[in-house]
Structure 1
Amino acid sequence: MRLRKTKYSLVFVPALLVCAYAFIQYGLYPPQLASLVQFKLQSPDFHLRPWVYFLYVHIAASSVALLIGPVQLFRRARTPRAVRLHRTLGKIYAVSIVLSALVSIQLSLSASGGWIARTGFLAMDLAWLYTTCTGVRQAMRGNIASHSRWMLRSYAITFAAVTLRLYQLPLMLLFDAFEPAYRLSAWLCWTVNLVVVEWLLYRKKTKNQLSQQKRVMES
């Protein structure tokens, strides 16, 4: 129980900080003051509107998914009421991701950093939709174990909102420039998360197989 609470805190707290940061940066101040927008405004072909409206929808919807995810992953639904809450939050999570990912596809087509960053974000959006929709489909079929695995992959991509910022600052210090750091972050922010999740799932599967073999040998 304590380990589960620790995992919940390690995921939820950074997610909450990123959501608060986005709300303060884009909700309380003009978007022109944000460093990303300032960089994009240097291009004469960039138009703040309607781009910024797509960004607002993306931030709002992804923030909802980012905060719901830890509750779904680390809080067990043991009672009928908890199960109903889990299903309701799951629906909100899935709808938020579909909305955010579709809007993000539009944003990725004009992402800073050229085609490398654009394909990175576009691939992330498509993977985000695929993992989430597959997880929902598995739940509807009653395959709960498979549903849990796919939703963990889904949240690994959702958590890219956090890891993007974790990678970007050190990479900017390394390259001493925004664009190369942004290009690399566009891929690292979600692929590394998925690799970590796949390793955790593989380790869990291997551990369960060893435990099962041990029980068989002892019986």
Structure 2
Amino acid sequence: MLSAKRNISTLFKILLILGFVYFFWLMLKITLEYIPFDPEVSFLMIKQTEAVERPEYLIFFYTHVYTSIFVLLFGFLSILRRDFGFRNFHRNVGKFYIFLILIVAAPSGIYMGIFANGGIMSKISFVILGVLWWFSTFKAYQLARQKKFKEHQKWMWRSFAFTLSAITLRMWKVIIVYLFHPNPMDVYQIIAWLGWIPNILIIEYLITKKQI
């Protein structure tokens, strides 16, 4: 029985890794669309007002896009430390993860949230997401400095739940558009909240049940 549970657990972890690799590849393809710099491709096609009237917008946009792909990777590698023997690797990867979020990715995301599509509700959601992303990461950093590693781990999971919104937001967008064919601006209003709230609720449930 114990052996069967271990096999199921190992299979689940392998599937989790494969799933992350697949979605990470999709995110990487999106990132590569913005190399070299071109303000008239993909998402930026519908952000021309900001790109023209606010020159700093493109700086924040490219900063966010180029760093977030590394945040995703470093965050995932960091959580592998316990089960896959990356203990010595964890500290340095975690430092990069925390540094990129606190200094670059979250602040640029908050700025972009102020100009998010979908009206005031979308803007509020993305700004809240950015603030919570920054705060949870800072809390994890603070607890690590205090050597409270159990609490540190919980806050890192919360931080990574917000990090994963880059993936889950796009997953929900595909599902909602396929099933309901709503107005594009309505989609933004929905996925702005759906992209991160289920993530953090799941993590809080797992933390409460001591599953992570």
**Post-superposition shift, 1:97?**
0.8
Instruction: Compute the displacement of 1:155 (Å).
Output: 0.4
How many residues align? The count is 201
Conserved? CA contact 1:77–1:83, under 8 Å: no
Structure 1 residues 22 and 31, CA gap change in structure 2 (3 angstroms): farther
> Is the 2:50–2:57 Cα contact (8 Å) retained in structure 1?
no
Task: Name the structure 2 match of 1:31.
Answer: 39
Query: Which residue in 1 is equivalent to 2:17?
Result: 8
Distance in 1 of aligned mates of 2:168 and 2:29: 14
Q: Following TM superposition, by how much is the alpha carbon of 1:132 offset from its aligned partner in structure 2, in angstroms?
A: 0.5
CA distance in 1 between counterparts of 2:50 and 2:199 reads 35
Secondary structure of 1:66's partner?
helix
With structure 1 as the length reference, what TM-score do the two structures score?
Answer: 0.81
SS of the residue 2:82 aligns to: coil
- Partner residue in 1 for 2:93: 89
Query: Cα distance, 1:60 vs. partner?
Result: 1.4
The letter of the residue matching 1:75 is R
Equivalent residue number for residue 213 of structure 1? none
Q: Which has the higher contact order (CA 8 A, sep 6+)?
A: 1
RMSD, matched Cα: 2.5
Q: Gaps spanning 5+ residues in structure 2: where?
A: 1-8
Q: What are the within-5 Å matches in structure 2 for residues 143-154 of structure 1?
A: 143-154=148-159
Contact 2:122 2:192 in 1 (8 A): yes
- Counterpart selection for 1:195 from 181, 201, 205: 201
Which residue number corresponds to residue 109 of structure 1?
A: 114
SS in 1 for 2:34: helix
Secondary structure, counterpart of 1:204 in structure 2: coil
Structure 1 position 29, deviation (Å): 7.2
- Could you say if the C-alpha distance between residues 71 and 78 of structure 1 is closer, same or farther in structure 2, counting changes exceeding 3 Å? closer
Percent identity over paired residues: 24
Change (3 A) 1:137 1:29: closer
**57, 60, 64: which one aligns with 1:54:** 60
CA contact (8 A) 1:16 1:67 kept: no
1:19-53 Cα offsets, whole Å, 9 max, x none, are x222222115733121x322233x59963633122
The alignment status of 1:120 with 2:128, answered yes or no, reads no
Range with bigger deviation, 83-92 or 151-160: 83-92
TM-score by length of 2: 0.84
Give yes or no for contact 2:117–2:123 (8 Å, CA) kept in 1. yes
CA–CA distance in 2 between the matches of 1:151 and 1:198?
A: 12
Which residue does 2:4 correspond to in 1? none
Is 1:137 the counterpart of 2:142? The answer is yes
Q: For the structure 1 residues 33 and 60, does the alpha-carbon distance in structure 2 shift closer, same or farther, using more than 3 Å as the test?
A: closer
Helix, strand or coil at the partner of 2:35: helix
Inter-CA distance 13–68: structure 2 relative to 1 (3 Å threshold) = farther
In 2, distance between residues paired with 1:63 and 1:202? 29
> Which residue does the alignment assign to 2:6?
none
Letter of the 1:199 partner, please give it: Y
Q: Is the 8 A contact 2:39 2:51 kept in 1?
A: no
Cα distance between partner residues in 2 of 1:57 and 1:44? 15
Rg larger in structure: 1
